[in-house]
A and B are shown apart, each in its own frame.
Chain A
Amino acid sequence: MSKMHSVNILDYTLLSSQGNTQETLKSIKNLSVKVLCKEVSTLNEPVKIPYYLLRDKIEENNDEIKEAIKKLIENLSIKLTAQQRAQTALLIGTSLIDRNIVESIESSVYEYKKKPYTSSKKSIDSFASEISKELKLNPFTMTISTACTSSINAVIEARNLINSGVVEYAIVVGVEIFSQMMSDGFSSMKLLSTDTQRPFDIDRDGLILGEAIAAVLVGKDSSKWSLKGAYSNCNSLNITSVSPSGEEYAEVMDKAMSFAKVTAKDITMLKTHATSTLTNDMSEINAIKKVFTSDVTFSALKPYVGHTLGACGVLELAMIMSCVDDGFIPKTLNHKESIIKEYTPLQEHKACTCGIFMLNYFGFGGNNTSVIIQKESI
């Protein structure tokens, strides 16, 4: 195993629509998923759609989002010594990077909302440096915005920073809180289901958005979990999708395995991206068929927590680790009939305590990422 390509995952924590780490695990285990509703705009009139909202509402404002992020980071950094904290970079992955600009536009442009001029910068990336200072972490912070691959790409950035000796540890946070603009944007593209998510099902009709904040601590200390390899590329048919054949997805899956020095036969389970949209699921299932034989175990997590966009990288990584630490791989909800009969996602929870796992993430803008993680047998 190339040391430059691997790093250990020391801890994880999450806040999803189903609650904290333990509550989310319980909800997955017992198949007791709660979904709320939110109003989005359409060409005609606003409609209420299902939405995986956090139980304790975080207002769409900077202070509440920052406090929620900080709380999760504290959960992880509390175990570090002062010396270790000083060697811990803070990385955020989110699609909300431009949220701060809206406030400035309103304050500057519209008479009815004009505010006195102040020279104070506020944004998701300024949260990172503020939190870093408050928790006495390393001054290096970075916010990555590559759509749905944002926070998993931030995990790869953490791996790079550690393996190149820039820092010894990194906390990587995925953040996605309700944004009216983002929800309306998905609505405008007719990608939202008004019913439920059906990954890889012939009757799938779209995704359901979700809120989440999740974080992992990465470093070289010994751990049962490690990131063995990863690959990210920018290769697509157009700005929103890859080829129906899924060749671009297959390329990242193959290269991630190559960097991790494993083969398809070594993969215990594949966590798919599975947005339940017509095109993405078609491309992904065709990519799976190219890379794996039909006995591959694969599942989709979005029906439990929604599509949390920039947060899904770290959130779904933490969910997989949480489930396997509890002894199982979660089944895919809401699946009745497969797009490809021979390739059916997991229909029942499956006992599993260790193994090698592939995690797929694909986003707008041609960003495709696949990572390989491993949990050693105890």
Chain B
Amino acid sequence: MKLYVKAQSSYRGNLDASEIKKELKTKYKLDTRRQDTFIHLAVYGAQLLKDKIDISSSDELYITSGVGNIDVLQKTNKYVYKDKEFIKPFDFINMLGNTTSYYVANSLGVKDKNTFQISNNFTFINTLISVFASLSVSKNEAILGSVDLCTNPNEVIKRVLGLDEDAEVTSSVNYQKLSLSSSGAIAEVEFDTKIYSLQEVQELIKNTDLKVMASPRCKDLDSLKDNEYFETMPSFYLNKTIQENENLLYIDCFENSYKIIKIIGLA
């Protein structure tokens, strides 16, 4: 399976929520009320993409994440279960996964398919498969946003993701506009449903001409790895490869199951 990337946007770092909120209000003139940090992060990434390419109201929208809106759950859990307060309606609404994709869709003017979805451990790569399958039927183009928010204490997100206690985690949001057509594409990304064994992956690494990056979870591989972790890291490296006009074999892994994507820069 192959998809073509028409545009991309990335934001990563120690999240400064007030700056993102300020950017959304001042630069993009967006209403940020009733939303929280996770939603602001998702909308901000979408606006960065919109700065680079025209968005059609018929573009399909996919938002994926390692754990979803952890911010609102952490806050609500505290005041409902610990402080015994009554849940606030907008906190309840923001807990629903597709609330984030609603605000993203609204900020982009997208009115067609809109979904929030998670696939265990390989959520970005499996969402690429969903996008491929849907575009094969609809013939539309798609916007794929990958959103991971790290809250304080970061032990919460590490427990949810099943990471080691000493793992470094960070927030990130990465978007691509994707199409089945190569016209105007800046990169192609190749993927499949196959789960690879360690031996198969080692064989691939040995025989590839592409640069190789591996997820920090790939402990049995000596390949280049990031020092920090967020679940949708392949989305970040897809964009980075495009920015650097390189080619890349990215390997993700969870409990001895490996998945790969191949990225070929076309710019």
Are A and B genuine complex partners?
yes
> Which residue from B74, B92, B98 sits with its C-beta under 8 Å from A185?
B92
Q: Are B119 and A109 in contact (CB under 8 A)?
A: no
Q: Are A234 and B113 in contact (CB under 8 A)?
A: yes
A-contact 0/1 string along B154-165, CB 8 Å cutoff: 011111111111
Report how far A185 CA is from B158 CA in the complex, Å. 27
Residues of A within 8 A of B155 (CB): 108, 117
Q: Are B95 and A160 in contact (CB under 8 A)?
A: no
Report how far A138 CA is from B68 CA in the complex, Å. 25
Residues of B within 8 A of A181 (CB): 76, 80, 87, 92, 95
The minimal Cβ–Cβ distance linking A362 to chain B, given in whole angstroms, is 12
Chain A 228-242 residues near chain B, CB threshold 8 A: 232-236, 239-240
Q: Are A234 and B102 in contact (CB under 8 A)?
A: yes
> Which residue from A41, A142, A166, A365 sits with its C-beta under 8 Å from B102?
A365
Report how far A147 CA is from B97 CA in the complex, Å. 8
Of A4, A233, A234, chain B has the most CB atoms within 10 Å of the CB of A234
Report how far A42 CA is from B134 CA in the complex, Å. 42
The minimal Cβ–Cβ distance linking B105 to chain A, given in whole angstroms, is 5
Which residue of chain B has the shortest Cβ distance to A128 in the bound complex? B120
Q: Are A41 and B86 in contact (CB under 8 A)?
A: yes
A-contact 0/1 string along B94-118, CB 8 Å cutoff: 0111110110011000111111111
Could you say which of A55-63, A97-105, A269-277 contacts chain B?
Answer: A97-105
Indicate whether B69 reaches chain A with its CB closer than 8 angstroms: yes
Which residue of chain B has the shortest Cβ distance to A99 in the bound complex? B73
The minimal Cβ–Cβ distance linking A99 to chain B, given in whole angstroms, is 9
Indicate whether B129 reaches chain A with its CB closer than 8 angstroms: yes
Q: Are B102 and A97 in contact (CB under 8 A)?
A: no
Indicate whether A299 reaches chain B with its CB closer than 8 angstroms: no
Q: Are B96 and A125 in contact (CB under 8 A)?
A: no
Interface residues on A, range: 35 or more
Q: Are A140 and B193 in contact (CB under 8 A)?
A: yes
The minimal Cβ–Cβ distance linking B102 to chain A, given in whole angstroms, is 4
Q: Are B87 and A185 in contact (CB under 8 A)?
A: yes
> Which residue from B68, B82, B129 sits with its C-beta under 8 Å from A98?
B68
Q: Are B133 and A166 in contact (CB under 8 A)?
A: yes
A119/B119 contact (C-beta < 8 A), A98-B95, A157-B134 known: no
Q: Are B137 and A4 in contact (CB under 8 A)?
A: yes
> Which residue from B98, B117, B195 sits with its C-beta under 8 Å from A367?
B98
Report how far A95 CA is from B95 CA in the complex, Å. 9
Q: Are B86 and A125 in contact (CB under 8 A)?
A: no
B-contact 0/1 string along A229-264, CB 8 Å cutoff: 000111110011000000000000000000000000
B-contact 0/1 string along A342-377, CB 8 Å cutoff: 000000000000000000000111110000000000
The minimal Cβ–Cβ distance linking B133 to chain A, given in whole angstroms, is 4
> Which residue from B123, B156, B164, B257 sits with its C-beta under 8 Å from A109?
B156
8 new A-B contacts, CB < 8 A, other than A42-B86, A120-B162, A144-B117, are A100-B160, A101-B67, A108-B155, A109-B74, A157-B133, A185-B87, A233-B113, A364-B93
